[in-house]
Structure 1
Amino acid sequence: MHLGQLAQITIYPVKSSAGLNLTQTQIEPRGLRFDRRWMIVAAATGHFLSARETPQLLQLLVQPSEQGLHLQAPGLDLQVATPAPDGQRQVSVWDDELSARLADSETNNRLSDWLGQAVQLVYMAPENQRAIDPRYATAAAQSVSFADGYPILLLSAASLSELNRRLLEKGRGALSMARFRPNLVVDTALAAHAEDAWKRIQIGAAEFAVVKPCVRCVLTTIDPDTLQREPDNEPLKTLIEYRRSPKGVTFGMNLIPLNQAELALGMSVVRLA
């Protein structure tokens, strides 16, 4: 069944950084190439920093390459080389603990000064493994990047349009897709949240299992332009009215890639199951 076209491809090279929109990319086992392969952690504990508590991360513009990163933000302009395999440290993402390569001390000092706290930048290399929750994995030993839990987040444009319709009825302004940080946006003529029912889709030659709704958190209430939290808790307040589930407020679907292939804007999106 034809669903629509791929309308947006976005990666977040450093966890909680600003999104980088692409016209094409490569699907890899852990998700989109360069997506959330880097992460900023507390120097003392190795626990990840999130824009939920550190909204300043949303200002971080990142250009990734195989050689490293170019980081830019107000008060920061930094070239970072991909760390060597011999410099590793333990890090944690939610309940997951793993080793990751540690960036050089100059990078970590600059980032610490920028954020006003002692932090370190780490890189997930091929030898660093983090397993997908086995309750939702489609095969043994599937890995995920530093994303919250799953390799790819998909959202339909129709779903955002429905939310914005409800917000406008309340006298609120419309929100951009950036507020919800998807990797893939599908433009479809189907009803809002049609993606809830998809089990398996194909985009070009790439196939994906649609495994779990995305439970939304307070990050959606932070304006990525002003870094301020909405005082009335929108859009969660409105989403609760029609998107509440036993596990929380859901908006978008988590995907696991089933093969490696190219993706490009405008590709047809087909429902396989």
Structure 2
Amino acid sequence: MKISKLNVYPVKSLGGISLQQATLGVRGLAYDRHWMVVDQVGRFVTQRQLPGMARVSVRLESDWLVLEHPEAEPLAIELASRDRPRLTAYVWDDACQALDEGAEASDWLTAVLGDLRGSSLRLVRFDEEHRRPVESRYLQGEEAHTAFADGYPFLIASQASLDALNRNLAQKGLAPLPMNRFRPNIVLEGAPDFAEDGWRELAAQDGRYRFGLRKPCQRCKITTVDQASGTIDIPGEPLQTLIQMKTQPLRPGAYFGQNATLLGGAGERVSVGDELQVGQ
């Protein structure tokens, strides 16, 4: 089994970046979900509320985070930490310390995405001094924390599982979906479909790093958003099909992929083509 794709999403719910290699950190791949769009009270904003966020593409340059949209000039944010106003940003029930990226970023986002129920939008950066712990009841002796991801530092998915989903969609006369509907960090090939749901650990064959697979990922409305157009063409799919497939027989809902923590290997490089093995 090997890694076939690596993806990082520097700004939560905006476009992803496909990589050939990345640096592993306890909070996830370098720069993953390091920024987030919030409303005026600091509440996180995602494609659940604004599907058009998918149309904002993201680039990482040597010194800049660059956001691009077909209807605006690019926005460049300096990667180096700066003296920025601090605020509290909220992801679900978690209050996180964050840095406000300023009026220019706010104006740019509000112009290309529109306001949210009358609220302008802001771009915030995760305060690296802040620690946002992963829900402890799913951990198995390790400590874990994350940045602005929904709850875990890594999301791991399998190409065979997507292929199985697409076969079920085809039986309904629906077009196959690309993996970007599920926004994983690490995509695997060479394992049976949904085998990942039975794994506890996944490790590089040479032992340089290890992941703990801790919780099946319950999927939401974002999987219904076309990540190229920012539109929802078939409401309810693929969620309805995943529910019918009962990928998690004991859990109600739609599940695809595994939320994971880093058990060892912080600072190591992970690359497309790395051979992996299932741990005990």
TM-score by length of 2: 0.90
Deviating beyond 3 angstroms after TM superposition, the runs of 4 or more aligned structure 1 residues are 65-68, 137-141
User: Where does residue 166 of structure 1 map in the other structure?
Assistant: 168
- Encode CA deviations 1:10-54: one digit per residue, 9 max, x unaligned: 011100011110000010010001110000100x21000101111
User: Where does residue 25 of structure 1 map in the other structure?
Assistant: 22
> Contact (CA 8 Å) 1:64, 1:70: kept in 2 or not?
yes
Letter in 2 for 1:128: H
User: Where does residue 56 of structure 1 map in the other structure?
Assistant: 52
User: Where does residue 69 of structure 1 map in the other structure?
Assistant: 65
Within 2, Cα distance between the matches of 1:108 and 1:60? 14
Whether 1:104 and 2:109 are equivalent positions in the alignment is: no
Within 2, Cα distance between the matches of 1:92 and 1:157? 32
User: Where does residue 37 of structure 2 map in the other structure?
Assistant: 40
Would the alpha carbon gap of residues 199 and 106 (structure 1) be closer, same or farther in structure 2, given more than 3 Å must change? same
RMSD: 1.7
- What SS does the corresponding residue of 1:258 show, helix, strand or coil? strand
Within 2, Cα distance between the matches of 1:122 and 1:48? 10
TM-score by length of 1: 0.93
Within 1, Cα distance between the matches of 2:140 and 2:35? 25
> Contact (CA 8 Å) 2:7, 2:185: kept in 1 or not?
yes
- Encode CA deviations 1:140-171: one digit per residue, 9 max, x unaligned: 75321101010111111100000111111221
User: Where does residue 149 of structure 2 map in the other structure?
Assistant: 147
User: Where does residue 220 of structure 1 map in the other structure?
Assistant: 223
Shift of 1:84: 2.1
Whether 1:268 and 2:267 are equivalent positions in the alignment is: no
Single out whichever of 246-255 and 142-151 deviates more from structure 2.
246-255
After TM superposition, the structure 1 = structure 2 runs for residues 85-96 of structure 1, keeping only pairs within 5 Å, are 85-96=83-94
Within 2, Cα distance between the matches of 1:31 and 1:94? 19
- What SS does the corresponding residue of 1:214 show, helix, strand or coil? strand
Shift of 1:221: 1.2
> Contact (CA 8 Å) 1:180, 1:220: kept in 2 or not?
yes
- What SS does the corresponding residue of 2:137 show, helix, strand or coil? coil
Would the alpha carbon gap of residues 232 and 56 (structure 1) be closer, same or farther in structure 2, given more than 3 Å must change? closer
User: Where does residue 128 of structure 1 map in the other structure?
Assistant: 130
- Encode CA deviations 1:195-251: one digit per residue, 9 max, x unaligned: 001101113511111101000111111112232224351111111111254252211
- What SS does the corresponding residue of 2:146 show, helix, strand or coil? coil
State the percentage of identical aligned residues. 34
Within 2, Cα distance between the matches of 1:179 and 1:169? 19
> Contact (CA 8 Å) 2:97, 2:127: kept in 1 or not?
no
